């Protein structure tokens, strides 16, 4: 990929600054970051820790700013590593089979339609003895979604954050120590549900943040309807925490693991790889979308967040479809 | 109504602003304005006291009451019916279409993730 004014003009100085910082911090950080396996482990654990503390300190701000600032980039990463890098986009029929239900569910179709995106994802993979079980799982989920759309969506909105962790974990063969990352995420979710974050949220006044336009009472109805009120608030905290981990997975862990180069990659090289994957026009459109969403968020945070969430509906079902495909290929084992 | 609210949550609509039944129609309206209730009846926006949970001071939440404009029916409901056969038929047709498309695409093996 050719160099350009963006990579040479803006990113080259950033790379120089990062190199200088790494040289200075080398004696301390080197052992943790020089090796990819170790780097990914520490990035994962520190992401989980930061997400946990941030959830305790300012959950409503995290629920607002996470989608507005990281939402679009994480969708781009989602499509990049689930569709573009594996080359699924080269299969036109598969794109139609995947895209139609994903578009339909984004436009408001029953969630069962979104789940059915798993069918073409599985059937287009090389035939294997795991195909039938993968289709059976997808079918069972579709039936469950059709029978009880509300309940399914309520569970799915929480569970899809964990699907991303599973996709990351099974992206490649990795040391057993990496299992600490999903275990830490599960532990953090469990602690939030058990009330461990309550004192922290109270200490930082996080139960209320009028400037965000978000309200815990309303979030409880939308994210944890039917639960006992205190447990429901903790479920919202758990969602907030896992959503932050979800963003970290797509924006840090998966890109680290998916690139051929094991050493940290310069920003300029990462940019050129991104341009190679999507092309400049598509990236310009995504950048405009991200900037537009952030600007909208400055003017009307609540509606902007709603708008993003409406747009992002497809990605949870895309993750589910690819997870089913990997299940059929024996990668989730 | 709750079904609609939950659906709009996950599809991204009104996530941060989930009103009680018959409230959405009167959002931004004035008392006395004409509206249509959740079940399709014509109505009028009327200020009423509604209960809600206030989490602003932490858990457990406090039960409070707030004034809110709700759509109150002024005429009997219209009866609407759904066809489960039609819905099931559409679902099966979609599954068949997707399966057919995918079988056609089956032979093309994608490049694995790097």
pLDDT (average), residues B23-32: 87
* Radius of gyration of chain A, Cα coordinates, nearest whole angstrom: 20
> Distance from A92 to chain B by nearest Cα, in Å?
8
pLDDT of A40 higher than 90: yes
| Average pLDDT, rounded, for chain A | 92
CA B44 to chain centre: 21
Higher per-residue confidence, B114 vs A107: A107
- Using CA atoms in the order A288, A214, A249, A199, what is the torsion angle rounded to 10 degrees? 150
Higher per-residue confidence, B76 vs A1: B76
Write the residue in B6, B17, B54 that is nearest to A154 by C-beta.
B6
Residues A111-168 pLDDT 10s: 999 999 999 999 999 988 999 999 999 999 999 999 999 899 999 999 999 999 999 9
pLDDT (average), residues A34-47: 93
Distance set, CA A238 to CA A156, A262, A314, B16 (Å): 14, 33, 22, 17
Interchain pair B12, A223: CB under 8 A: no
- Using CA atoms in the order A276, A121, A290, A237, what is the torsion angle rounded to 10 degrees? -130
| Average pLDDT, rounded, for chain B | 68
Q: Of the ranges A87-96, B71-80, B101-110, which is most confident?
A: A87-96
Q: What pLDDT does residue B114 have?
A: 34
pLDDT of A7 higher than 70: no
Residues A231-265 pLDDT 10s: 999 999 999 999 999 999 999 999 999 888 888 88
CA distance A216 to A121: 37
Higher per-residue confidence, A105 vs A226: A105
pLDDT of A197 higher than 90: yes
Q: Is A269 exposed, middle or buried (0-12, 13-18, 19+ CB in 10 A)?
A: middle
Higher per-residue confidence, A160 vs B111: A160
Q: What pLDDT does residue A322 have?
A: 94
Residues of B in contact with A233 (CB under 8 A): 55, 59, 61
| Lowest-confidence pick of A45-54, B8-17, B49-58 | B8-17
Higher per-residue confidence, B91 vs A76: A76
pLDDT (average), residues A88-116: 95
Is-contact A160 A316, C-beta < 8 A?
A: yes
Interface of A with B in 129-148 (CB under 8 A): 146
Is-contact A141 A122, C-beta < 8 A?
A: no
Tokens of residue B62, six digits: 């406090």
Is-contact A31 A305, C-beta < 8 A?
A: no
Interchain pair A120, B9: CB under 8 A: no
Interchain pair B106, A124: CB under 8 A: yes
Kindly identify which residue of chain B lies nearest to residue A100, measuring between CA atoms: B98
A1 confidence band (pLDDT: 50, 70, 90)? very low
Closest listed residue to residue A12, CA positions, set A266, A263, A218: A266
pLDDT of B87 higher than 90: no
Residues B16-27 pLDDT 10s: 334 578 888 888
Interface of A with B in 153-212 (CB under 8 A): 153-154, 156-157, 171-172, 195, 198, 201-202, 207-208
A222 confidence band (pLDDT: 50, 70, 90)? confident
Residue A96 contacts B, CB cutoff 8 Å: yes
Q: Of the ranges A203-207, B6-10, B27-31, which is most confident?
A: A203-207
The bridge status of strand B62-73 relative to strand B42-54 is antiparallel
Q: What pLDDT does residue A210 have?
A: 92
pLDDT of A194 higher than 80: yes
pLDDT of B103 higher than 70: no
- Substitution target in A63, A65, A78, A93 with the highest count of B β-carbons within 10 Å is A93
Residue A15 contacts B, CB cutoff 8 Å: no
Residues A269-327 pLDDT 10s: 899 899 999 999 999 999 999 999 999 999 999 889 989 999 999 999 999 999 999 99
pLDDT of B14 higher than 60: no
pLDDT of B11 higher than 60: no
């Amino acid at each position: 990929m050719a160099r350009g004014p963006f990579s040479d003009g803006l990113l080259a100085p950033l790379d120089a600054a990062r190199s200088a910082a790494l040289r200075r911090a080398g004696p301390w950080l080197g052992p943790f970051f020089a090796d990819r396996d170790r780097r990914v482990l520490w990035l994962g654990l520190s992401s989980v820790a930061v997400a946990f503390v941030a959830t305790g300190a300012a959950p409503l701000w995290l629920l607002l700013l996470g989608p507005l600032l990281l939402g679009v980039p994480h969708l781009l990463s989602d499509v990049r590593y689930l569709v573009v890098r594996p080359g699924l986009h080269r299969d036109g029929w598969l794109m139609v089979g995947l895209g139609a239900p994903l578009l339909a569910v984004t436009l408001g179709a029953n969630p069962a339609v979104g789940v059915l995106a798993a069918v073409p994802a599985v059937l287009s993979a090389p035939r294997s003895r795991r195909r039938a079980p993968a289709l059976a799982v997808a079918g069972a989920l579709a039936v469950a979604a059709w029978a009880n759309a509300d309940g399914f969506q309520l569970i799915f909105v929480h569970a899809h954050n964990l699907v991303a962790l599973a996709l990351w974990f099974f992206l490649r063969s990795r040391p057993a120590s990496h299992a600490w990352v999903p275990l830490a995420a599960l532990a953090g979710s469990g602690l939030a549900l058990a009330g461990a974050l309550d004192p922290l949220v109270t200490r930082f006044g996080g139960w209320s943040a009028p400037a965000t336009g978000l309200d815990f009472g309303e979030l409880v109805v939308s994210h944890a309807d039917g639960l006992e009120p205190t447990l429901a608030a903790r479920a919202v905290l758990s969602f907030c925490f896992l959503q932050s981990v979800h963003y970290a997975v797509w924006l840090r862990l998966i890109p680290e693991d998916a690139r051929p180069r094991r050493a940290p990659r310069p920003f300029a090289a990462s940019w050129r790889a991104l341009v190679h994957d999507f092309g400049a026009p598509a990236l310009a459109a995504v950048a405009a979308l991200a900037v537009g969403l952030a600007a909208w968020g400055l003017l009307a945070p609540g509606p902007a967040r709603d708008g993003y969430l409406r747009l992002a509906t497809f990605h949870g079902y895309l993750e589910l479809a690819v997870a089913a495909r990997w299940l059929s290929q024996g990668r989730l084992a | 109504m709750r079904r609609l609210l939950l659906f709009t949550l996950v599809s991204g609509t009104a996530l941060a602003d989930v009103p009680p039944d018959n409230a959405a129609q009167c959002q931004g309206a004035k008392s006395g304005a004409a509206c249509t209730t959740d079940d399709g009846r014509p109505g009028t926006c009327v200020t009423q006291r509604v209960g809600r949970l206030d989490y602003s001071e932490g858990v457990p939440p406090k039960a409070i009451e707030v004034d809110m404009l709700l759509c109150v029916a002024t005429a009997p409901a219209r009866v609407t019916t759904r066809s489960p056969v039609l819905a099931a038929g559409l679902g099966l047709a979609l599954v068949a279409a997707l399966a057919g498309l995918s079988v056609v695409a089956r032979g093309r093996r994608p490049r694995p993730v790097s």
